[in-house]
A and B are shown apart, each in its own frame.
Chain A
Amino acid sequence: MREPTVITPELIAQHGITPEEYQQIQAILGRDPNFTELGIFSVMWSEHCSYKSSRVYLAQLPTRGDCILQGPGENAGVVDIGDGLAIVFKMESHNHPSFIEPFQGAATGVGGIIRDIFTMGARPIALLDPLRFGPLTKGKSRYLLGGVVGGIAAYGNAVGVPTVGGELCVSETYAGNPLVNVFCLGIAPKDRIFLARASGEGNPVMFVGAKTGRDGIHGATMASETFDEGSEERRPTVQVGDPFKEKLLIEACLELMGTDALVGIQDMGAAGLTCSSCEMASRGGTGIEIDLARVPRRETGMIPYEVMLSESQERMLLVVRRGTERLVMDIFHKWDLDAVIVGRVTGDGLLRVKDGERVVAEIPAVALAEEGPVYHRPVRRPAYLTETEQAELSGLSLPEKLDQVLLDLLGSPNIASKQPVWQQYDHMLFCNTVVEPGSDAAVLRVQGTRKGLALAADGNGRYTYLDPYEGGKLAVAEAARNVVCAGARPLAITNCLNFGNPERPEIMWQFAEAVRGMGDACRALQTPVTGGNVSFYNETLGTAIFPTPIVGMVGLLDDIAHATTPWFKAEGDVVFLLGETREELGGSEYLKVVHGLEVGRPPALDLARERAVQQVCLEAIRAGGVSSAHDCADGGLAVALAECCMTTAKAWLGATLTLPGEMRPDALLFGESASRIVVSVRPDWGESVRAMARRHGVPCVELGMVGGDHLMLRGQGLSLRLSVEAIHWAWSTGLSRVLI
């Protein structure tokens, strides 16, 4: 690359910098930036790094709580779980690179989120991967799914972090813009958390890990643009991951963290060396001076601009105590990794970049990291809502064969078993996995304690499209309900907010409303937000995806013995429904799969009721009589009950059940009313579950009894009977039937 010497308006525009932002840059510097500085500003002030459109809304989310040790603003959030331990977790998106190159895009997404976790001093022990694709009947979507799943498997399995859960949803809305979100959780001694801060003037700055190449330059800027026809030609800007290198980096960094040498540490993710150096200096209230000539390269002829903006993977920036350089190098050399001193912490607050003796950039660190533009972008309620809200569903034709509809739903990609995907991921490494993927939430035991962690990821783009505020609320509520069904108390969330172009007022309105909904739900359910990620510009050729906020929820089990799964356990157990079914078909999977409609309003969510239902379920599980608990979500009560009949092993159990409620039979079976949980309890525990429900004012209806090899459902105007074998076939082969 040749370095332009004149900063033209075209060059500024190519860097995604507006004329107003350029004036701001001139004011900060008191002069024109050079080419390297322009590049540095462009990545740090990109939407991806600066959150310039979302900041004002994110500030409204609750971030404090008794157990929160570190909220947003660091590489990941930290939550106290007692016994001297803390969990560190975060979710991020890798949507844009995954569309351009699905295998490496997803793989480097996994690598990046893992680095965010061990940067904090935690050993990464679990991954979740919420994914969204276009319909799998389309070749392109199947290609993307295969590539993304292959990339997650290749990286996660080799690096040695188990993928214990996730989500897979398909919809036309994601055909031109798939979503690849990755969540990682780690565990650390509570008093050994490391922060990304450069402190101690004169302390050396070290560069460790892989060598630097030209890959990924302007990745952060790419993630801040919409897609057009030429997008796939940007394949070279997607980085290539090396999970082996990352494994070495994990071990070397954790070994270093066991010494007293480390002062601050940050991984080089989006915007690479630029972001890590200026953010560490800014947070530490210091400056950093680095000499690019010392940065290990794997390509020749790289100019300063390229070194600063490279997003080569598996690299970290460290600040260590003066005098410990040798010790640090010895640890990294043991793991066959580069570790070189590239600079030092200064007291002048500047990010000063040198290339040998020549200063190639000099910018106040705080201006890059904290003083970027903040936008209050215009918002406007989208016109489509008037139409979707007014859709009249009472006149909808009622399918004749409701038993066939149930089988169709069970076999549809969003409901069918995801085992064909998760069996490609190691989900058992570290001997913690007590409840495997395929349940409402994964459950891990915490070694050395009696405790357990429940992890779930959730988010329904269709709900959020039909009502962004309710969709935001529902995502939090359902994720919390999932961990409650696993026997855990919801602790805290991380989120990944996937939206269209924020420069369009309708998108900004969706975002504002969804965040408001999430905030309200988080406050009501007492699950603060510890951090997350915003992914805007999820658009192709001017069409935005459904607004899709995804919640990563972590719950705590005080006793791992409370770990609960959705499926029935014993003949004669009594089945109860906590919560109530209303005639709500809007936004349902049934409406989409059977009628091809994505209209109406999503199910109403009363947060007080939600909390009460969750409390009853948790209380009953802790009391000990609950055999199974399952959240009613996509596909409604009938699908939830059918899922209860199947275990991953072949021990199938049917049930004979009567569903309460006076409404259309399809709404009774497939409506997705919120705040409902199906529990089965030992016969002698029925009365105490009723009493708990009464105490919390939660409707609790006995549906019937577990037994036999058929699921029989009766209700007003309906009676259906299906063998569990038929249910299992439909559900377990649903995905493979469409993928082959």
Chain B
Amino acid sequence: MKWGVLIFPGTWSHQDFAHVFQDVLEVEWGYLWHKETSVAGYDCLILPGGFAHGDYLRCGAIARFSPIMDAVVRFAREGGPVMGSCNGFQILCEAGLLPGALLRNDSLQYRCRWVHIRTERCDTPFTRTVPPGQVLKIPISHGEGRYYASPETLAGLRSNGQIVFRYGTPDGQITDEANPNGSLENIAGICNEGRNVLGLMPHPERASETLLGSEDGRLLFEGLLAGALPR
């Protein structure tokens, strides 16, 4: 299977995903420039972190209009697996592929640090090999990662089992202290109703080697590599 890593002007985590695919997982991958209009030939799409188009407006608000996004939306509607991390999550929300929004951190400051997230759902193509309730050690790096949604949307996320990751303590307790940005219900990552689109603020690509402090992020790639769900 071939991974497609999107690059918008201002994206910066694409290199790190490429490094993990090339050097750590040794899988097939390629870059997709935002002005392209087709994603043909790719089996999974990654929207990486960064400041697409500078993010001088709302994060992701311009990126959703990049030419490639039509193809991304089509790919997702057809059930293709799409993962947005950090800025990629923000873009997926702006593009309407995921519900809710990411607001300014409650500290009003950028935060780069290790966090722990509890895996709430193992029925997505990305988390299918993660044991239920497993806590992953993984970094965040964002200024606008406070997940917010209306009460109705939130209720829908809960009842559909779309909340995939929550910020917690190393032993999996969901507490206010463990919430790094003020996200509603400690939400760190969600999926769509079709379960094939995952958005999360943490950076799995930065937690894919023991040398860097954690290999837990690899699980999200390995789930797909173990065999993608039928399209």
Taking Cβ atoms with an 8 Å cutoff, the residues of A that contact B are 153-154, 157-158, 160, 242-245, 247-248, 335-336, 422-431, 433-434, 445, 447, 560
Contact = CB atoms under 8 A, between A and B. Distances in A.
Contacts of A157: 51, 110, 112, 141, 143
A220 to B, nearest CB: 28
Contact of B212 (A158, A425, A433): A433
5 closest A-B pairs by beta carbon, nearest first, are A244-B54, A160-B12, A158-B51, A426-B141, A426-B112
Interface in B14-73: 15-16, 19-20, 23, 50-51, 53-56
Given A158-B51, A247-B9, A425-B112, A430 B212 contact: no
Contacts of B51: 157-158, 160, 243-244, 247
- Residue picked from A157, A242, A422, most chain B C-beta under 10 Å: A157
Interface string B207-219: 0110110000000
B109 interface: yes
B110 A425 contact: yes
Contacts of A431: 16, 19-20, 205-206, 208-209, 212
A424 B181 CA distance: 12
Given A157-B141, A434-B212, A428 B9 contact: no
A705 B56 CA distance: 54
B5 to A, nearest CB: 14
A423 B107 CA distance: 12
Nearest to B15: A430
Contacts of A158: 10, 51, 54-55
A245 B10 CA distance: 8
A646 to B, nearest CB: 16
Nearest to B33: A334
A605 to B, nearest CB: 35
Contacts of B77: none
B2 interface: no
17 contacts: A158-B51, A158-B55, A160-B12, A243-B54, A244-B53, A247-B10, A422-B112, A423-B112, A424-B112, A428-B112, A429-B16, A430-B15, A431-B19, A431-B212, A433-B212, A447-B19, A447-B23
Contacts of A245: 54
B211 A560 contact: yes
Contact of A426 (B10, B53, B56, B110): B110
B16 A244 contact: no
Nearest to B49: A429
Contacts of A433: 212
B20 to A, nearest CB: 7
A170 B192 CA distance: 49
Contact of B111 (A247, A335, A424, A430): A424
- Residue picked from A154, A247, A248, A429, most chain B C-beta under 10 Å: A429
B54 A423 contact: no
B106 to A, nearest CB: 14
Contact of B10 (A244, A423, A425): A244
Contacts, number: 77
Nearest to A153: B110
Size category of the binding interface on chain B: 20 to 34
A431 B138 CA distance: 12
A248 B12 CA distance: 11
Contact of B113 (A336, A423, A434): A423
A248 B50 CA distance: 12
Contacts of A160: 12, 50-51
Nearest to B20: A431
B203 interface: yes
A425 B141 CA distance: 8
A447 to B, nearest CB: 7
Nearest to A422: B112
Interface in B103-122: 109-113
- Residue picked from A153, A423, A427, A560, most chain B C-beta under 10 Å: A423
B13 interface: yes
Contacts of B143: 157
B10 A429 contact: no
A465 B135 CA distance: 51
B53 A428 contact: no
- Residue picked from A160, A430, A560, most chain B C-beta under 10 Å: A160
B41 to A, nearest CB: 22
A428 B141 contact: yes
Contacts of B23: 447
Given A157-B143, A424-B109, A424-B110, A429 B53 contact: no
A429 B12 contact: yes
A423 B111 CA distance: 5
Given A160-B50, A426-B141, A248 B9 contact: yes
A433 B139 CA distance: 12
Contacts of B206: 428-429, 431
Nearest to B17: A431
A560 B209 CA distance: 13
Contacts of A445: 211
A249 to B, nearest CB: 11
A251 to B, nearest CB: 8
Interface in B189-231: 203, 205-206, 208-209, 211-212
A431 B12 CA distance: 12
A427 B19 contact: no
Contacts of A423: 109, 111-113
Given A157-B143, A424-B112, A434-B211, A336 B9 contact: yes
A428 B54 contact: no
B172 to A, nearest CB: 16
Nearest to A157: B110
Contacts of A424: 109-112
Contacts of A244: 9-10, 51, 53-56
A423 B140 CA distance: 10
A102 to B, nearest CB: 15
A275 B53 CA distance: 30
Nearest to A160: B12
- Residue picked from B10, B12, B139, most chain A C-beta under 10 Å: B12
